[in-house]
Each structure stands twice: as structure tokens, then as C-alpha cells.
């Protein structure tokens, strides 16, 4: 079945440093989504990428979808303490149906 | 409702007992998903509903797990003869296929502890 791998598992940064998490799928994806889960909370939808090579920005967050639609990345510029949490990528093999989640990257930001 | 509502928020049960978890999705959301998350782990897919039917139930771990959805709205996940390995947070999500924003909206989850 479809597998989505995410690295790194953990990332500790100093406030102001950049952060990147990477996501790779074993199969070509129809689309990929990113979620953020704060400690003690539930995942919250951030964004969806659909097109090959797509790049989207949300303030300090930049999301990319690979040309082959099998990998994706999330980059945060100048991290803040409010960025702490676990970031999940989630891929969908067909236009509809379930998302397969990566294991997540736990981000810690030291002030 | 305004969000996805799950109940109970916490459930402690004895090994061997049956439990029912409830999910009330956002009104009008036709798709409903159940996932579970063990401590510090990712999200494990359990079952997907489109309306009242379940086109994908491939993630249900065993025949002790079942789920239904009625009226295209509320869903219940039932775990029979609970085991300690069933302890996890059970998350429900809903979405509305066909809209530009096709992300999941998750509920706050039910934390199940089997003792």
C-alpha cells in the first residue's frame, strides 16, 4: 500500500533559525496536504498542493510539491516559539478518498 | 455544527469491555474519517465514509472494530472486547469533497485508555 515517509522525526532550533521537513511517497500522489498539531491538540489543516512543481507561501511558511508529485517539503523561515508542534504531511493517491499521513516532524523552538 | 464534535473526550475502560466512540461532523460534510494516534506517533487510518457507505475500511485492525454512519451525519466507532493495545487517541475528521479547500477538519479526539 501507499507509504508516506517524513524526515526528520525531531528538529530542535533556536528562535530565528530556519526549519525544513521533507516528505516522500512510495507512489505518485494526486495531492498532498500539510497539517500542524500543537502539543495536546489535534491536527489543523494548513494547505493543499495539487500541481506538479507547485509552490505556495503562507507568511513565513513555504510549501513545495515535487515535479514527480512524490515528494514535498515545508520550510519555515525565522522560526518563532509559536511554531512549536508536530508538522504532518498527508498524501492522497486519488482525487478523493483517504489521506495517508507521514509520521510527522516534531519541532521544538528554543527562545 | 461549527466544528467536529467527538464524545466522550476521555474514556477509561477495563480490558474486555466494549466501547462506543461518537463523532458529529460539520454539517454538510459528506466525507468522514476515523484515525487513531498512539502516543507520539503518526495518524493511522481506520475507515472512511462517503455519505452512509464505507468505501474504504481497510484500516480497521481486527473484526473487533466496526463503525457506522447514519443519516449522512453522526458516526460511531465501536470496539468490542477492548485490549490494552487499543489505547490511543481516536480522531474523527470530516471534509467536503468538491470544494476548493478539501482539507480535513479534525475533532479534538477521544482518548481511550484500556486498563
Q: Kindly state the average pLDDT of the residues B23-42.
A: 91
Name the burial class of residue A50, with classes exposed (0-12), middle (13-18) and buried (19+) by CB atoms within 10 angstroms of its CB: middle
* Residues of chain A that touch chain B, judged by Cβ-Cβ distance less than 8 Å: 1, 31, 33, 35, 41-48, 88, 90, 96-104, 106
Locate A81 and state its grid cell: 516559539
Strand B75-79's sheet: what is its strand order? B5-7, B19-24, B75-79, B65-69
Phi first, then psi, for residue B14 (nearest 5°) are: -85, 145
Q: Using a CB-CB distance cutoff of 8 angstroms, which residues of chain B are in contact with residue A108? A: none
Strands (E), B14-103: 19-24, 31-37, 43-50, 53-56, 65-69, 75-79, 88-95
**Residue B59: which pLDDT band, with cuts at 50, 70 and 90?**
very high
Locate A50 and state its grid cell: 495539487
What pLDDT is stored for residue A45 in this prediction? Answer: 96
Amino acid at each position: 500500500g501507499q507509504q508516506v515517509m517524513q524526515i526528520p522525526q525531531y528538529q530542535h532550533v533556536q528562535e530565528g533559525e530556519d526549519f525544513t521537513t521533507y516528505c516522500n511517497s512510495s507512489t505518485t500522489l494526486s495531492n498532498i496536504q500539510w497539517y500542524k498539531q500543537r502539543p495536546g491538540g489535534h491536527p489543523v489543516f494548513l494547505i493543499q498542493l495539487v500541481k506538479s512543481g507547485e509552490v505556495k507561501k503562507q507568511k513565513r511558511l513555504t510549501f513545495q510539491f515535487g515535479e514527480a508529485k512524490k515528494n514535498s517539503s515545508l520550510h519555515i523561515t525565522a522560526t518563532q516559539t509559536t511554531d512549536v508542534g508536530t508538522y504532518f504531511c498527508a498524501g492522497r493517491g486519488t482525487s478523493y478518498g483517504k489521506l495517508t499521513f507521514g509520521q510527522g516532524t516534531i519541532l521544538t523552538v528554543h527562545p | 455544527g461549527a466544528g467536529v464534535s467527538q464524545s466522550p473526550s476521555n474514556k477509561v475502560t477495563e480490558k474486555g469491555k466494549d466501547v462506543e466512540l461518537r463523532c458529529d461532523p460539520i454539517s454538510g460534510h459528506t466525507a468522514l474519517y476515523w484515525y487513531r494516534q498512539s502516543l507520539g506517533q503518526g495518524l493511522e487510518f481506520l475507515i472512511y465514509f462517503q455519505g452512509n457507505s464505507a468505501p474504504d475500511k481497510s484500516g480497521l485492525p481486527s473484526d473487533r472494530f466496526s463503525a457506522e454512519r447514519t443519516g449522512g451525519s453522526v458516526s460511531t466507532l465501536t470496539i468490542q472486547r477492548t485490549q490494552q493495545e487499543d489505547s490511543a487517541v481516536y480522531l474523527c475528521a470530516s471534509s467536503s469533497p468538491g470544494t476548493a479547500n478539501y482539507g480535513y477538519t479534525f475533532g479534538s479526539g477521544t482518548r481511550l485508555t484500556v486498563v
